[in-house]
Amino acid sequence: MTSLRSAPNQIMSEPTITIQGASKWFGNVVAVNDVSLQVYPGITGLLGPNGAGKTTLLHMISGLAKPSEGEVTVLGESVRGNQQLYRRIGVMSEHEAVYGFYTGRQFVEFAGRSYGLKPLAPAVDRAIDNVGLTAVQDRLLGTYSRGMRQRMRLAATLVHDPEVLILDEPLNGTDPHQRIEFHDQIRLLASEGRTILISSHILEEVETLAEHILLMVSGKLAAAGDYRAIREKLDERPYKVRIEVSNPRLMAEALIRVEEVDSITVEASGALVILSQNIHALQQSVPRLAKEQGVRLLRVEPLDDSLESVFGYLVER
């Protein structure tokens, strides 16, 4: 890989990707709603639950979709209809389909030829070596595992040494070991001055990777900034736990005296819904109190561990 030579301070002064008031709707459905953001060199994670509009936003950035409103520029130029800009951009879509009749190498060669790379072989060798698939490059893509296919797709995306990489859910189907390798690969590419925008619906998938986070919920940009700031906000989030006990009123009386419990609601079924800032204290208090009160614990379940509720919490803030 050739290093990009921009000095870090120059890099920071110029955003690589700029989106200004972009919206995209399909009939009555608004997929992306008035989003404005800037992406700088380095790794940026685009997070959000499924259906949040991440892919539509990435499609607008990569020129696959035309914004219904607003403007998208990459490297200072409009992407839509600007074919020559693809010499500087690499896009890996979320769809995992490949031409199954090609070997891994032929697939990367096809990409390289389409970019008009000369000489082709060294660029293909380097791209395949980068993703660690040299040993299986002559096997048909149709015989690859999902993880291998994703990595070979990444090789095809990297073959022309792009300055900007847009990766839509690239870690789908990869195992933990492959994820670590993939993370190392992405970090290396970013250290060379590239802009890498990587989407995921799994928070943990990019938390150790991305320095900046863009958070999308329901088509809107819910938060943007440093990952740590967003994580802190998440840690402040009250936890909701639902418990079923043999004597709900007795248990509620005991729980309300616990300092870490913010509120208790008794449902019609008799189940208790407890709201607490300190999940660890609650985990200890509930069984202790049940034992003290002679109450049987029938069921304990966290209510809002889903990603949607985590993102929803941030949007409300």
Shortest Cβ 86–another protein spacing (Å) = 5
Residue 10, CA atoms < 13 Å, CB-side half-sphere: 5
d(CA 235, CA 278): 9
The distance of closest approach from Cβ of residue 287 to another protein in the complex, given in angstroms and rounded to an integer, is 50
Please state, in angstroms and rounded to a whole number, the distance separating the CA atoms of residues 31 and 38: 19
Residue closer to another protein, measured from CB, 66 or 187: 66
Q: What are the residues binding another protein (CB under 8 A)?
A: 59, 62-66, 81, 83-87, 89, 91, 93, 95, 97-99, 101, 109-111, 113-116, 156
CB distance 221 to 213 below 8 Å:
no
* Choice between 99 and 122, CB closer to another protein: 99
> Of 119 and 294, which CB lies nearer to another protein in the complex structure?
119
Where are the alpha helices (H) located in 52-98, listed in sequence order?
Answer: 54-62
Q: How far is the CB of 69 from another protein (least distance, A)?
A: 14
Cβ distance to another protein smaller for residue 93 or 195: 93
Q: How far apart are CA 282 and CA 89, in angstroms?
A: 49
- Which residues are within 8 A (CB) of 100 and not within 5 positions of it... i.e. 6 or more apart? 140, 141, 142
Give the nearest distance from C-beta 156 to another protein in angstroms: 8
Q: Of 79 and 261, which has the nearer Cβ to another protein?
A: 79
CB of 146 to another protein, least distance (A): 15
Picking from 48, 69, 72, the residue whose alpha carbon sits closest to that of residue 60 is 72
Calpha distance 30→14 (Å, rounded): 30
